[in-house]
Structure 1
Amino acid sequence: MKLDPSFIWTAFLQLLSVIPTTLYITIVSVLVGFLIGTCVALIRIYKVPVLYPVAAGYVTFIRGTPMLTHLLLIYFGLPMIIDGLAVHYGWSFRAASIPMIGFAYISFSITAGAYMSEVVRSGLLAVDKGQLEAAHAVGMTTPQALRRIVCPQALAASLPNLSNSVIGMLHGSTLAFTVSVVDINAKAQIVASTNWKFFEAYLAAALIFWGLTVLIERAAALIEKRINLYNRGGVA
């Protein structure tokens, strides 16, 4: 079997059409996961009664099980719950109305939330507790101190790990094909099935993922540089 460079380019062009799907999955899961992770991190740091063991169990379970398992549990389990509730309460809505990509959004957001909670928690713990106490001394409430003083510094400290989480979710989005979502990986398989040139198609997919990863790394570096300028007082 010989390498066909021309088909690599052909596959590359065809894969461009599904890049938005992969980016949608990544962006949604990262944003929702960051919100979940921040809430879970705060619950664990402040040991909120009742919620603390739930948050700790959530993180332990998600981090201890594969990402594909989460997707399959949501894909098969969520319809059972929704349809069961619909029958019980007489709702007209059914799980069949949920688009396939919706299961990917939900599953990957839950997965991202557990991992990002550890990133956010480590960032918050990296900030000196004395700054929070100083904020209380000048009359700030805890939410105000977190928003104005602690969180900006925690974001700067955790940004490298956050960028790694984004890259991880980008690569993890390839699992969406198991629930019939046509992302970059699934499209590569479809393109290759026309003439069995799977190596060329997956090589084109790898180049696209590599390019997207480099863009994320560059964006994270620029944001980190900007935040560090503010922290040093270099921006008026």
Structure 2
Amino acid sequence: MTLDPSFMWTAFLSLFKALPTTLMITFVSVICGLFIGTVVALCRIYRIPGLSQLSTAYVTFIRGTPMLMHLLIIYFGLPILIDSLAAKWEWSFTSASIPLIGFVFIAFSITAGAYMSEVVRAGIVAVDRGQIEAAHSIGMTTPQALRRIVLPQALAVSLPNLSNSVIGMLHGSTLAYTISVVEINAQALVVAANNWKYFEAYIAAAVLFWGLTLLIERGSGWLEKRLNAYHRGGVM
């Protein structure tokens, strides 16, 4: 077997067809996961009765099981739940109304939420608690102190780990092909199957993922410098 550089370039260009799907999966899962993770982290930090225990169980289960397992459970389990409720309440909406990528969004958001909750929790804990007490002394409520003082500083502290989570979700998006969602990995498989040149196709996919990872790392580094300059009183 010989390497075919010309086909590698052809495959690389073909992979851009699936790039929007990969980026959409990553973006939606990261944004939803960050929201879920923040809520879960706050429930655990402030030990809200019931929610604290539920949040701990959620994080423990998700972090203790594979990402692919989450996708398959949602893909096979959610339609059973939706269709049973639709039959009981005579809904017109059924699981058939959900696009395949919708299952990916739900499953990966749940996965991202568990991992990001630990990142957010570590960032919040790293902020000096005296700042919250100072905020209370000038009349701020706890939600106001969190929104205006704690969370912005926690974001700056957590940014390196958050960028790692984004990269992890980008790479994890390749699992979407298991339920027939055509992202970069699936597109590489399609291109390779037509020509039986799997090696070249997967090298092209690896290069594309590498480039995307570098962009995330550079963007994270730039944002981290800006946030640190802001918190030191520098000019934005």
Specify the alignment match of 1:43 in structure 2. Answer: 43
* Residues 1:10 and 2:6 are matched in the alignment: no
Counterpart residue type for residue 19 of structure 1: L
**TM-score (norm: length of structure 2):** 0.99
Please list the CA deviations of residues 136-192 of structure 1 after superposition, one character each: whole Å capped at 9, or x if unmatched. 011111011111111111001000000000000000000000010000000000000
Counterpart residue type for residue 166 of structure 2: V
For residues 172 and 53 of structure 1, what CA distance do their matches in structure 2 show? 28
* Residues 1:102 and 2:102 are matched in the alignment: yes
For residues 172 and 90 of structure 1, what CA distance do their matches in structure 2 show? 37
* Residues 1:69 and 2:69 are matched in the alignment: yes
Specify the alignment match of 1:220 in structure 2. Answer: 220
For residues 145 and 194 of structure 2, what CA distance do their matches in structure 1 show? 59
Look up the SS of the partner of 1:17 in the other structure: coil
Counterpart residue type for residue 9 of structure 2: W
For residues 184 and 204 of structure 1, what CA distance do their matches in structure 2 show? 10
Specify the alignment match of 1:115 in structure 2. Answer: 115
Counterpart residue type for residue 235 of structure 2: V
Specify the alignment match of 2:24 in structure 1. Answer: 24
Counterpart residue type for residue 19 of structure 2: I
1:121 to partner: Cα distance? 0.1
Look up the SS of the partner of 2:195 in the other structure: coil
Structure 2 unaligned regions, length at least 5: none
1:50 to partner: Cα distance? 1.0
**TM-score (norm: length of structure 1):** 0.99
For residues 93 and 140 of structure 2, what CA distance do their matches in structure 1 show? 46
Specify the alignment match of 1:183 in structure 2. Answer: 183
For residues 152 and 190 of structure 1, what CA distance do their matches in structure 2 show? 44
List structure 1 segments (4+ residues) > 2 angstroms apart after TM superposition: none
Specify the alignment match of 2:208 in structure 1. Answer: 208
1:226 to partner: Cα distance? 0.5
For residues 39 and 79 of structure 1, what CA distance do their matches in structure 2 show? 26
Please list the CA deviations of residues 177-235 of structure 1 after superposition, one character each: whole Å capped at 9, or x if unmatched. 00100000000000000111000000000000000000000110111010001011012
For residues 92 and 135 of structure 2, what CA distance do their matches in structure 1 show? 51
Look up the SS of the partner of 2:18 in the other structure: helix
Aligned Cα RMSD in Å? 0.6
Look up the SS of the partner of 1:193 in the other structure: helix
Look up the SS of the partner of 1:215 in the other structure: helix
Look up the SS of the partner of 2:182 in the other structure: coil
Look up the SS of the partner of 2:194 in the other structure: coil
1:2 to partner: Cα distance? 0.2
Counterpart residue type for residue 64 of structure 1: G
Specify the alignment match of 1:130 in structure 2. Answer: 130
For residues 4 and 19 of structure 2, what CA distance do their matches in structure 1 show? 23
Report the number of matched residues.
Answer: 236
For residues 122 and 48 of structure 2, what CA distance do their matches in structure 1 show? 18
Counterpart residue type for residue 112 of structure 1: A
